[in-house]
Amino acid sequence: MRLLVTRPEPEGARTAALLRSRGHEVRLAPLLRIEPVADAVFGVGPWAGVVFTSANAARAVASHRRFGALAALPAFAVGARTREAAVAAGLTNVVSAEGDVGDLAALIVAGSEGTVLPLLYFAGGDRAGDLAGILGKAGRAVETVIAYRAVIVSDFDADVRAAISGGAIDGVLHYSARTASAFISAAKAAGIVDSAMKVRHFCLSAQVAAPLIAAAAAAVEIAAAPNEAALLALVDRA
């Protein structure tokens, strides 16, 4: 298939390489730009562990001047890619929920039973789920630290605009509701929304698909599980 990947770098290039290895033709149109927060402020601890809901947060923390204070703490990651990023950053005890925010909360509650210490949650400026709220209801204290911000890219480049309007894109991969919304906005700005809504849209979850369904996209397909392996399998079956 002729596919468009909209996730930010460096994840976009990695996903594109995976898709090309499966025989697909891929263009990249990152619709978010990741900007780490320099010297993000967090307290003195101690903490029960650290939490990541994205690989971007793990990468941002890796360069923090106080990373040494975190490296040996138990770490909880939402999925395999986030776990890989946390391990690459230098965290030594990382487990993955292999799912979504709800799965991560369940993993944390089970893995931190008996402790009254807070968890240190490194997150983006915009978050799809309320992890801190879920954990709070389960009696777990959370200190949330904004580790990075994702800035929306408001337009496609000329090559991508021409590919969408000319029917040279068969499908688009969407990994977050925010990038799905950004895709719709960029298509409207470029005057190609009709063409953009006719292609197949492959979404990581129902939450990611919601903006596209609301925009009346013709074909919205949702992965069987909220992880990249399931999303790529969905594309391969198309």
* Residue-level pLDDT at 48: 92
- pLDDT (average), residues 2-22: 94
Three-class secondary structure assignment of 178-207: HHHHHHHHHHHHHCCHHHHHHCEEEECCHH
Q: What is the pLDDT of residues 70-103, one digit of tens each?
A: 999 999 999 988 999 999 999 999 999 988 899 9
Domains assigned to the chain = 2-32+152-237 (3.40.50.10090), 42-149 (3.40.50.10090)
Residue 128 has pLDDT above 70, yes or no: no
Q: What is the pLDDT of residues 22-46, one digit of tens each?
A: 999 999 999 999 998 988 888 888 9
The pTM score is 0.73
HSE-CB of 108 using CA atoms within 13 angstroms? 35
